[in-house]
């Protein structure tokens, strides 16, 4: 049986991929595209932020089941702001130690629901070997020692012997090295400035070494993050940024006797986690959340959430979770938000229903799990109100989405990822939320929203005769791979 390789290229967008190939700047990706199935409109998870998406990729479910709501979120039970490292200023306020604990340990061992299984857990329970290279969601049945860099050891109280779980073959930059292989020759890609090996060059170094060792796992998930960082800064050079990712893929292809041999031995999939939207240059493209909510007492980062507070802000760039500390303030909070036209959507729970309002209007749509309508992915819903809020088209009992792909399941997934009362807001195209110490990208790229610009990703499948089912979603990748490896899927 062939091995399966899944490459996760952060912020790769379909139109950029197509342009890059048309300009002959991506020979590696072109090689796979010419020999495989290309899906330009695969739908990712909401919020369109890496942490919750990675969890969906490895578990095959939306956040209502895996319970990781986003990159930044709040747990009212423990009164803890969770930040899997977004924005240096925010991380310093919350505390490096807490954020490092969140991303290194809590995400996999505490937050990711035990009710769902990762692809690594399922494969290894079936007697196969699984591998994870630099992916932050990596829960598995083996324990791996984390070797913290000296700078992190000094800044935190981490003990040297801290361990995380993962599949048999596991790499997390220079922090967790696959210990059955010879060490990768030290180079610049392993320095602090290069995120201790969480970068494309190091990930490909590890992959090449894993394959050469003769111990390549049946499945390997490889995360390539560089494209995201570059796009945030200079979205106008998107093609050049993706071309640089391609150079790393070519390095991998060249490690075989021939490129064709790669597909003789492997099924290769390439997917992105989300797109990016270009943010306007001027200050007005930042939607200032504290200003907008100035009638409320807003929790400050780095302090305890107390009864004196009205709202906790968790900023996920083009999306934000707002948590009312007192549920009776929910209505007032929503009223303050609907005045703002730069807010695209405002969504919240009403019992088992989701209510969504378009910013700056009175238009509201409510939907819930039911039986009146069926969406293109086979889920059944009931709905009432203004379908235009989410641009939903109705044809008898078939409903279809356009501007907000798979809108019902994805909003449901985000809002029901927690029991707590919470309001989810998204920014209109060209805008981004700004709040205390949050990163901002005026004139750059950003993401997080439900809109198709942030939500449609390319999916490439090569080396198998099987076709990926369409319309495609990122959450369906896991079962496709399990089937490819002839593993019976266990319903959760
Ligand atoms: Zn990003």
Ligand 1 center to 367 CA (angstroms) = 30
Q: Which pLDDT does position 145 carry in this prediction?
A: 86
Structural domains in the chain, CATH included, are 3-68+112-276+451-484 (3.40.720.10), 283-446 (no CATH)
Rounded to the nearest whole angstrom, what is the distance from the C-alpha of residue 67 to the centroid of ligand 1?
Answer: 21
The yes-or-no verdict on residue 269 having pLDDT over 60 is yes
Ligand 1 midpoint to CA 195 (Å): 15
Cα(21) to centroid of ligand 1, in Å? 23
Would you state the pLDDT for residue 469?
97
Question: At a CB cut-off of 8 Å and minimum separation 6, what does 405 contact?
Answer: 41, 43, 452, 455, 456
Measured in angstroms, how far is the CA atom of residue 230 from the centroid of ligand 1?
A: 9
Interatomic CA distance for residues 391 and 380, integer angstroms: 17
For residue range 227-266, list pLDDT tens digits in order: 999 999 999 999 999 999 999 999 999 999 999 999 999 9
pLDDT at res. 264: 98
What's the rounded mean pLDDT across residues 87-106?
A: 72
Compute the average pLDDT of residues 276-305. Answer: 95
Q: In degrees rounded to 5, what are phi and psi of residue 281? A: -75, -35
> What is the model's pLDDT at position 191?
62
Q: What is the pLDDT of residue 142?
A: 95
Q: What separation in Å is there between the alpha carbon of 466 and the centre of ligand 1?
A: 32
Is the pLDDT reported for residue 301 higher than 70? yes
Q: Determine if the pTM surpasses 0.85.
A: yes
Distance 232 CA to ligand 1 centre (A): 6
Q: What is residue 91's predicted lDDT score, i.e. its pLDDT? A: 65
pLDDT band for 356, please (50, 70, 90 cuts). very high
Kindly report which listed range (193-197, 283-287, 387-391) carries the lowest average pLDDT score: 193-197
CA 482 to ligand 1 center in whole angstroms: 28
pLDDT at 491 over 70: no
- Tell me, in angstroms, the distance from the centre of ligand 1 to residue 179's CA: 30
- The CA 229 to ligand 1 mean position distance, Å, reads 6
10 C-alpha to ligand 1 centroid (Å): 8
How would you label 169-196 residue by residue, b for 16+ Cβ within 10 Å and e otherwise? bbbbbbbbbbeeeeebeeeebbeeebbb
- 241, 17 Cβ separation under 8 angstroms: no
Q: How many A from CA of 446 to the centre of ligand 1?
A: 6
* pLDDT interval class at 161 (50, 70, 90): low
**Would the pLDDT of 428 be above 60?**
yes
Alpha carbon of 228 to ligand 1 centroid (Å)? 5
CA of 200 to the centre of ligand 1 (A): 15
More confident residue, 104 or 333: 333
Predicted local confidence at residue 13, as pLDDT: 98
pLDDT class of 302 with cuts at 50, 70, 90: confident
- Given this model, what pLDDT does residue 102 score? 79
pLDDT recorded at residue 198: 83
User: How many angstroms is it from 106 CA to the middle of ligand 1?
Assistant: 21
Nearest to 222 by CA among 264, 182, 258, 251: 251
Using the mean position of ligand 1's atoms as its centre, give its distance from the Cα of residue 474 in Å.
17
Please report the pLDDT score of residue 437 as a whole number: 80
Confidence of residue 306 (pLDDT cuts 50, 70, 90): very high
Q: pLDDT tier at 88 (50, 70, 90 boundaries)?
A: low
Query: What's the pLDDT at 163?
Result: 85
SS3 52: helix
pLDDT at 155 exceeding the cut of 80: no
Please say if the pLDDT value at position 445 is more than 80. yes
Condensed to tens digits (0 to 9), the pLDDT of residues 164-220 reads 899 999 998 878 887 655 566 666 666 665 667 889 999 999 999 999 999 999 999
For residue 432, pLDDT over 90 is answered with yes
d(CA 158, ligand 1 centre) in Å: 27
Please, are residues 132 and 140 in contact by the beta-carbon 8 Å criterion? yes
Q: How many Å lie between the centroid of ligand 1 and the Cα of residue 443?
A: 14
Q: Are 414 and 307 in contact (CB under 8 A)?
A: no
Q: How far is the CA of 278 from the centre of ligand 1 (A)?
A: 12
Higher pLDDT: 461 or 163? It is 461
CA of 317 to the centre of ligand 1 (A): 9
Average pLDDT over residues 283-295: 96
Quick one: pLDDT at residue 312?
Answer: 97
Query: What pLDDT shows up at residue 189?
Result: 65
On the question of pLDDT at 65 being above 90, the answer is yes
pLDDT at 83 over 60: yes
Average model confidence (pLDDT) for the chain?
92
Tell me: pLDDT of 99 over 80: no
Residues ≥6 apart with Cβ < 8 Å to 322 = 289, 293, 311, 312, 313, 314, 333, 337, 422, 423, 424, 425
pLDDT-above-70 percentage for the chain: 91
Bond before 471 cis per omega within 30 degrees: yes
Query: Out of 85-89, 276-280, 350-354, 473-477, which region has the weakest mean confidence (pLDDT)?
Result: 85-89
Report residue 156's pLDDT band, with 50, 70 and 90 as the boundaries.
low
């Amino acid at each position: 049986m062939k091995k399966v390789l899944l490459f996760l290229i952060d912020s790769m967008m379909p139109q950029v991929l197509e342009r890059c190939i048309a300009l002959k700047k991506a020979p590696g990706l072109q090689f796979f595209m010419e020999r495989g199935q290309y899906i330009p409109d695969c739908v990712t998870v909401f919020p369109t932020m890496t942490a919750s998406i990675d969890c969906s990729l490895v578990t095959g479910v939306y956040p209502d089941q895996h319970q990781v709501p986003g990159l930044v979120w709040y747990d009212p039970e423990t009164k803890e702001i969770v930040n899997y490292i977004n924005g240096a200023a925010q991380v310093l306020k919350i505390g490096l130690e807490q954020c490092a604990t969140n991303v290194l340990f809590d995400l996999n061992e505490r937050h990711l629901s035990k009710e769902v299984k990762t692809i690594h857990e399922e494969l290894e329970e079936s007697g196969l070997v699984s591998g994870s290279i630099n992916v932050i969601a990596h829960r598995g049945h083996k324990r791996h020692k984390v070797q913290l860099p000296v700078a992190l050891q000094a800044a935190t109280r981490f003990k040297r012997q801290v361990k995380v779980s993962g599949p048999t073959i596991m790499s997390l930059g220079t922090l967790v090295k696959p210990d059955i292989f010879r060490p990768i020759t030290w180079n610049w890609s392993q320095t602090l400035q290069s995120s201790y090996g969480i970068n494309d060059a190091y990930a490909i170094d590890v992959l090449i070494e894993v394959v050469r060792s003769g111990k390549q796992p049946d499945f390997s998930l490889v995360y390539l993050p560089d494209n995201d960082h570059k796009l945030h800064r200079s979205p106008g050079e998107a093609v050049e940024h993706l071309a640089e990712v391609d150079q790393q893929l070519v390095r991998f292809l060249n490690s075989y006797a021939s490129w064709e041999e790669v597909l003789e031995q492997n099924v290769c999939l390439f997917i992105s986690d989300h797109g990016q939207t270009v943010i306007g240059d001027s200050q007005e493209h930042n939607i200032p959340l504290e200003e907008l909510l100035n009638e409320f007492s807003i929790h400050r980062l780095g302090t305890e959430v107390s009864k004196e507070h009205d709202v906790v802000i968790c900023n996920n760039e083009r999306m934000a979770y707002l948590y009312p500390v007192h549920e009776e303030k929910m209505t007032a909070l929503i009223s303050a938000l609907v005045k703002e036209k730069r807010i695209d959507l405002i969504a919240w729970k009403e019992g088992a229903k989701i209510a969504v309002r378009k910013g700056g209007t009175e238009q509201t749509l409510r939907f819930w799990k039911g039986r009146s309508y069926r969406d293109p992915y086979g889920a059944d819903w009931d709905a009432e109100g203004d379908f235009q809020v989410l641009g939903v088209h109705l044809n008898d009992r078939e409903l279809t989405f356009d501007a907000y792909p798979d809108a019902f399941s994805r909003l449901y997934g985000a809002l029901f990822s927690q029991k707590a009362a919470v309001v989810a807001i998204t920014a209109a195209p060209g805008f981004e939320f700004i709040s205390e110490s949050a990163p901002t990208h005026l004139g750059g790229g950003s993401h997080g929203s439900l809109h198709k610009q942030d939500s449609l990703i390319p999916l490439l499948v090569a080396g198998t005769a099987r076709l990926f089912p369409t319309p495609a979603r990122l959450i369906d990748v896991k079962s496709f791979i399990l089937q490819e490896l002839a593993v019976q899927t266990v319903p959760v």
